[in-house]
Amino acid sequence: MSKLISPHGSDRLKPLFVTDADRNSALTREAEDLPSVLLSSASAANAVMLAGGYFNPLTGYMNRADALSVASHMQTTDGLFWPTPVLNLVESSGGIEPGARIALQDPNVDGHPVLAVMDVEAVERFSDAEMAAMTEKVYGTNDKDHPGVAAFNSQGQVALSGPIRVLNFSYFKTDFPDTFRTAVEIRDEISAHSWSKVVAFQTRNPMHRAHEELCHLAMQRLGADGLVIHMLLGKLKPGDIPADVRDAAIRKMVELYFPPNSAIVTGYGFDMLYAGPREALLHAVFRQNMGATHLIVGRDHAGVGDYYGAFDAQTIFNDVPEDALKIKIFEADHTAYSKKLNKVVMMSEAPDHIKEDFVILSGTRVREMLGKGEAPPAEFSRPEVAQILMDYYQKLDA
């Protein structure tokens, strides 16, 4: 049995999901009589990540001091490295006071069932200046047109903090039964494969040839035993391809173009932050928690628009204390198919090439082609993957 990388901040994972069926049922019944708060989608996603062990070793939502410290210094007040605040923000406390036990309702499931039970330790309000400072530090901007900035600042300024016990995994288990996995489950699967060196690939999009070859390249250069393709299953900005379509496209690619038992396709229940460099650090934290030893960080990782430099998500790792993370980064440049070499390469490793030597298509152009039922060139996208995407876009236009 291979020895897996240690989780972040502890010797073993401490997921906050209540696994004991009797205890879960008892808490669910108790919650019916508790004061309740309807969570924001972001707070619900935080609960799901805490439940699955991805946010180990956190025990619940951060208080004001920890959130401000994390935003400013990337560590909690007790010194734990953490790159983004994990908050339960609400518009108003609704009379809830420290010491209360409350039920947290799921905003993303019909009827708003109870997602978790929380013991409230503090009820604190962030000032406008504090919200602006946190936003600037985490997102690198206060521009309200940035989807992450807009989502963060739409929740409210009152933070309810304290430990939580999570009773279910929201809609992720039911909507994505074959794909959603907790950090605990992925660790178990890695162990079952006897992998010790494991590469994680983050995606919120379908994977084209360049992504596929980048994964092969990283595994080859690192001498990795296996690959975990780990897709975001939560809320995205308008225009992004929905998770079920991405899932089908990626599974088809792995089925046809990866050796058997070399890659597993999984997903996690979180809303995209679009926080670029800070989100890349968060990706590293929870990929370590799920058992990956390496994370591929590419050009404009977790970015949006022109808010971040092409390689800011790589260079930010230079600011991380040496002992803060055990997971390592595989730095990737933009990858594209070389007409000269007849294969996908990292563009920085082809110095004798000019732009016209590569097959490069903008996202807009690819969407236009797919919407018209035109498959992108085989050098850009596998035909079987393109077909799944064409079917999706043509239904949109129908």
Residue finishing a domain among 119, 147, 173: 173
206 and 249 assigned to the same domain: yes
Does residue 156 contact residue 90 with C-beta atoms inside 8 Å? yes
Q: Which of 125, 181, 187, 204 is catalytic?
A: 204
Q: Which of 205, 209, 246, 365 is catalytic?
A: 205
Predicted local distance difference test score (pLDDT) of residue 172: 96
- Give domain status of residue 7, yes or no: no
Token digits of residue 352: 């004798």
275 and 327 assigned to the same domain: yes
Residue finishing a domain among 173, 200, 230: 173
> Is the pLDDT score of 1 beyond 60?
no
User: Of 232, 217, 231, 228, which is closest to residue 195 (Cα–Cα)?
Assistant: 228
261 and 244 assigned to the same domain: yes
- Give domain status of residue 383, yes or no: yes
> Is the pLDDT score of 216 beyond 70?
yes
Taking only the tens place, the pLDDT of each residue in 343-389 is: 999 999 999 999 999 999 887 888 889 889 999 999 999 999 999 99
Which of 204-213, 235-244, 322-331 has maximum average pLDDT?
Answer: 322-331
The domain in which residue 252 lies consists of 176-397
**What CATH number has the domain bearing residue 204?**
3.40.50.620
154 and 203 assigned to the same domain: no
**What CATH number has the domain bearing residue 100?**
3.10.400.10
Taking only the tens place, the pLDDT of each residue in 111-159 is: 999 999 999 999 999 999 999 999 999 999 999 999 999 999 999 999 9
236 and 372 assigned to the same domain: yes
Burial 178-213 (b: 16+ CB within 10 A, else e): ebbbbbbebbebbeeeebbbbbbbbbbebbbbbbbb
Q: 240: pLDDT confidence band, cut at 50, 70 and 90?
A: confident
| Angle ∠(18,24,27) on CA atoms, nearest 5 | 110
- Give domain status of residue 68, yes or no: yes
Q: What is the C-alpha to C-alpha distance for residues 260 and 254, in angstroms, rounded to an integer?
A: 9
Structural domains counted in the chain? 2
Residue finishing a domain among 135, 154, 173: 173
Residues 155-184, mean pLDDT to the nearest whole number: 97
Q: What rounded mean pLDDT belongs to the chain?
A: 95
Residue with token string 């039922």? 373
Length of the chain: 398
Predicted local distance difference test score (pLDDT) of residue 215: 97
140 and 190 assigned to the same domain: no
Q: 398: pLDDT confidence band, cut at 50, 70 and 90?
A: low
26 and 162 assigned to the same domain: yes
- Give domain status of residue 12, yes or no: no
Token digits of residue 380: 């850009």
191 and 328 assigned to the same domain: yes
- Whether residue 376 has a cis bond before it, omega within 30° of 0: no
26 and 114 assigned to the same domain: yes
- Give domain status of residue 354, yes or no: yes
256 and 145 assigned to the same domain: no
- Give domain status of residue 381, yes or no: yes
- Give domain status of residue 11, yes or no: no
As a whole number of Å, the CA-based R_g of the chain is: 21
Rounded to two decimals, the pTM is 0.95
334 and 276 assigned to the same domain: yes
- Give domain status of residue 75, yes or no: yes
Q: 334: pLDDT confidence band, cut at 50, 70 and 90?
A: confident
Does residue 45 contact residue 84 with C-beta atoms inside 8 Å? no
Q: Does the active-site annotation cover 204?
A: yes
Taking only the tens place, the pLDDT of each residue in 252-271 is: 999 999 999 999 999 999 99
Q: Does the active-site annotation cover 289?
A: no
Residue with token string 């502890």? 10
Predicted local distance difference test score (pLDDT) of residue 22: 98
The three-state secondary structure class of 298 is: coil
User: Of 149, 128, 162, which is closest to residue 46 (Cα–Cα)?
Assistant: 162
213 and 167 assigned to the same domain: no
Taking only the tens place, the pLDDT of each residue in 177-189 is: 999 999 999 999 9
